Amino acid sequence: MTKVAIVTGASQGIGAEIVLAFRKLGYRVVATSRTIKPSEDPNILTVAGDIGDPGTAQRIVSEAVTQFGRIDTLVNNAGIFIGKPFTENNIEDYNAVMNVNMAGFFHITKLTLAEMEKHSSGHVVNITGSIDNGISGGHTALAALTKGGLNAVTRVLAIEYAKKGIRVNAVAPGVTDTPMHSKEHHEMLGSLHPLGRIGKASEVASAVVFLESAEFVTGEILHVDGGQSAGR
Ligand SMILES: NC(=O)c1ccc[n+]([C@@H]2O[C@H](COP(=O)([O-])OP(=O)(O)OC[C@H]3O[C@@H](n4cnc5c(N)ncnc54)[C@H](OP(=O)(O)O)[C@@H]3O)[C@@H](O)[C@H]2O)c1
């Protein structure tokens, strides 16, 4: 039977590359974001909505099951970055980041794991960030608060669901060339990475594809960060 992957934050950047990568593997894909448009590919079902809203998560999962019959893989990719000095973050900033990065993980992962449990197999990949330790001169506290939490819950859920045949992994990118960071900063941001450049969205997608095939890997945080986390 054809496998099915859900990819959140799929309209652009890393998410759009992950959708392409799963189609190359022959999967059917449920692609979601607020502004996503219908696809001409009959094997890509798009669902538009705010991923922090539990109703959106419910629609995505029920559409996946109704239209494609099963869910094999969930890629929690939707995320936003607000890079202000910590004391300048206001309540709207905090709520916005918590809504996408945290609630956007929580609602859909709960519903998807419940579906996966029914057939005792599945794989969840969280796109987190190589951010837990801070970057000198950077303003990454809200990113660390949320992505650090996702790295931790990746390990916890990997253990909790291992006996149920479900794997849970994360890919932690360094700065990646997507609309998230404006081009004028790319060279400076590249210099923060030992390999001397920022990453490509396709390089993050390749890591997700590797984890998808790595049947004995669970609870792993795979850094795709040009060496940024090495030695820490
Ligand atoms: N780029 C980097 O340097 C970098 C580094 C480390 C980690 N990451 C992580 O990688 C992931 C993808 O980042 P990216 O660089 O590809 O970002 P991006 O280009 O800004 O794309 C973000 C995606 O998330 C969707 N999204 C945003 N808010 C949403 C909401 N409320 N509800 C549903 N979807 C929403 C956007 O679509 P709509 O606007 O249509 O909703 C878009 O598809 C994120 O989790 C990010 O934190 C990125």
Question: Ligand 1, from 7, 33, 130: best to mutate by most atoms within 8 Å of Cβ?
Answer: 33
- Expressed in angstroms and rounded, the spacing between residue 119 Cα and the centre of ligand 1 is 30
| Predicted pLDDT of residue 134 | 83
| Predicted pLDDT of residue 203 | 98
| Predicted pLDDT of residue 82 | 97
| Predicted pLDDT of residue 175 | 96
> d(Cα 12, Cα 226) in Å, to the nearest integer?
22
Per-residue H/E/C for 49-78: CCCCCHHHHHHHHHHHHHHHCCCCEEEECC
| Predicted pLDDT of residue 138 | 87
Provide residues with CB under 6 Å of ligand 1.
9-15, 33-36, 50-52, 77-81, 100, 127, 129, 173, 175-176, 178-181
| Predicted pLDDT of residue 136 | 80
| Predicted pLDDT of residue 115 | 98
Question: Ligand 1, from 76, 80, 182: best to mutate by most atoms within 8 Å of Cβ?
Answer: 80
Per-residue pLDDT 10s for the chain (232 aa) are 899 999 999 999 999 999 999 999 999 999 999 999 999 999 999 999 999 999 999 999 999 999 999 999 999 999 999 999 999 999 999 999 999 999 999 999 999 999 999 999 999 999 999 988 888 888 999 999 999 999 999 999 999 999 999 999 999 999 999 999 999 999 999 999 999 999 999 999 999 999 999 999 999 999 999 999 996 7
Q: What would the two tokens of residue 74 be? A: 């969930």
Query: If we measure between CA atoms, which residue out of 160, 109, 152 comes closest to residue 6?
Result: 109
> d(Cα 15, Cα 31) in Å, to the nearest integer?
9
Q: Which residue's C-alpha comes closest to atom 31 of ligand 1? A: 50
- What are the angstrom distances between the C-alpha of 138 and each of 12, 84, 85, 177? 25, 9, 8, 18
Q: Which residue's C-alpha comes closest to atom 23 of ligand 1? A: 9
Backbone angles phi, psi at 166, to 5 degrees: -115, 130
- Expressed in angstroms and rounded, the spacing between residue 138 Cα and the centre of ligand 1 is 19
Domains of the chain: 4-138+149-224 (3.40.50.720)
| Predicted pLDDT of residue 152 | 97
Q: pTM for the full model?
A: 0.98
| Predicted pLDDT of residue 1 | 87
- Expressed in angstroms and rounded, the spacing between residue 50 Cα and the centre of ligand 1 is 12
> d(Cα 168, Cα 123) in Å, to the nearest integer?
6
> d(Cα 203, Cα 52) in Å, to the nearest integer?
26
Residue 77, C-beta contacts closer than 8 angstroms, at least 6 positions apart: 7, 8, 9, 10, 14, 15, 18, 127
Residue type, 74: L
